[in-house]
């Protein structure tokens, strides 16, 4: 019974991340001339898709169009529309096949008022890091300045060679979960942090949590992690537009 329940629960976790299609449909030529094209089929995690979209857009000129091919998946469609509205990059058109969607995105250099997101992360569990790091990446990809504060056991996430595991009784299935998540586009937590750093995120660590959870400053994956406690990050929160606390 124990193993059965664990696998069922784990399956429910991974199903939401799993790939939908295996490129079964041959895609016809696009209707609109484009300057670049990327194939993101097989991935259902929008921050993964948009990370490579944004990376390509950085090297493109205003008015140029990138073609982004994805699986046909409602969540991706809604997220790309939201990202377009938030960034000002124009979603010119979308084509839909039986198993795929093709997005035509025009680069627009639009200066928007600066926004800041401040987030506190307390749990280092593999499944518990999905939402905070996904939200942080989504914000950064949309042009929001991101500030992350790791406290309690979550300070371990910033330690070199950290390997996230599922929480509680599902811990033995961590390797399987990591593999399935990677297929969908969920990178390991430290890889997501590398992406966030590339996008300009600032990372803080609770100094009072470091020693109890076996983390030294020399262990940290980044040299510029800010060691602080509550007042330092409270000042950050005081100037932020969005506040997220995850425990």
Q: Superfamily for 36-106? A: TusA-like domain (3.30.110.40)
Residue 28 has pLDDT above 80, yes or no: no
Q: Rounded to an integer, what distance in angstroms lies between the CA atom of residue 164 and that of residue 150?
A: 15
Alpha helices in 20-112 (DSSP H): 46-58, 74-87
The least confident of 14-18, 52-56, 130-134, 238-242 is 14-18
Give the per-residue pLDDT at 24. 57
The answer to whether residue 19 scores a pLDDT higher than 80 is no
1 pLDDT band, cuts 50/70/90, is: very low
- Give the distance between the most distant pair of CA atoms in the chain: 59
At 244, give phi and psi (nearest 5°). Answer: -130, 125
State pLDDT tens for residues 75-122. Answer: 999 999 999 999 999 999 999 999 999 999 999 987 777 899 999 999
Question: Under CATH, domain 116-246 is a member of which superfamily?
Answer: DsrEFH-like (3.40.1260.10)
Q: What is the DSSP letter of 172?
A: G
The answer to whether the CB of 209 falls within 8 A of the CB of 219 is: no
* Alpha carbons 11 and 56: distance in angstroms, whole number: 34
Residue 9 makes CB contacts below 8 A (sequence gap 6+) with 170
Taking the model in full, what pTM does it have? 0.88
Alpha-carbon Rg of the chain, whole angstroms? 19
Does the pLDDT value for residue 14 go beyond 60? no
Tens-place pLDDT, residues 126-184: 999 999 999 999 999 999 999 999 999 999 999 999 999 999 999 999 999 999 999 99
How does the average pLDDT of the chain come out, rounded? 90
> Residue 1 belongs to what H/E stretch?
none
Phi-psi region of 42 (alpha: psi -120 to 50; beta: other; left: phi over 0): left
Spatial CB neighbours of 4, under 8 Å, sequence gap ≥ 6: none
Task: Give the mean model confidence (pLDDT) for residues 3-32.
Answer: 56
Q: Residues near 39 by Cβ (< 8 Å), separated by ≥ 6? A: 69
* Percentages of the chain per state (helix, strand, coil), in multiples of 5: 40, 20, 35
Using the predicted structure, report yes or no on whether residue 207 has a pLDDT greater than 60: yes
CA distances from 25 to 98, 101, 130, 137, 218 (A): 7, 11, 30, 30, 50
Per-domain boundaries in the chain: 36-106, 116-246
């Amino acid at each position: 019974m124990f193993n059965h329940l664990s696998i069922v629960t784990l399956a429910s976790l991974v199903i939401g991340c799993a790939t939908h299609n295996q490129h079964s449909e041959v895609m016809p030529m696009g209707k609109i001339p484009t300057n670049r094209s990327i194939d993101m089929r097989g991935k259902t995690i929008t921050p993964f898709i948009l990370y490579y979209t944004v990376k390509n857009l950085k090297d493109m000129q205003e008015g140029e169009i990138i073609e982004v091919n994805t699986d046909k998946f409602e969540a991706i469609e809604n997220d790309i529309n939201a990202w377009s509205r938030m960034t000002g990059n124009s979603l010119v058109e979308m084509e839909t096949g039986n198993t795929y969607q093709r997005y035509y995105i025009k680069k627009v250099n639009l200066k928007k008022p600066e926004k800041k997101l401040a987030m506190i992360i307390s749990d280092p569990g593999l499944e518990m890091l999905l939402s905070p790091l996904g939200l942080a990446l989504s914000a950064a990809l949309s042009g929001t300045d991101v500030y992350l504060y790791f406290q309690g056991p979550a300070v371990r996430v910033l330690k070199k060679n950290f390997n996230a595991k599922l929480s509680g009784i599902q811990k033995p299935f961590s390797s399987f979960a990591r593999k399935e998540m990677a297929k969908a586009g969920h990178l390991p937590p430290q890889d997501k942090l590398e992406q966030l750093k590339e996008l300009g995120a600032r990372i803080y660590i609770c100094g009072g949590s470091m020693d109890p959870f076996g983390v030294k400053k020399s262990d940290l994956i980044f040299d510029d992690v800010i060691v602080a406690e509550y007042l330092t990050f409270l000042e950050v929160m005081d100037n932020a537009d969005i506040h997220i606390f995850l425990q």
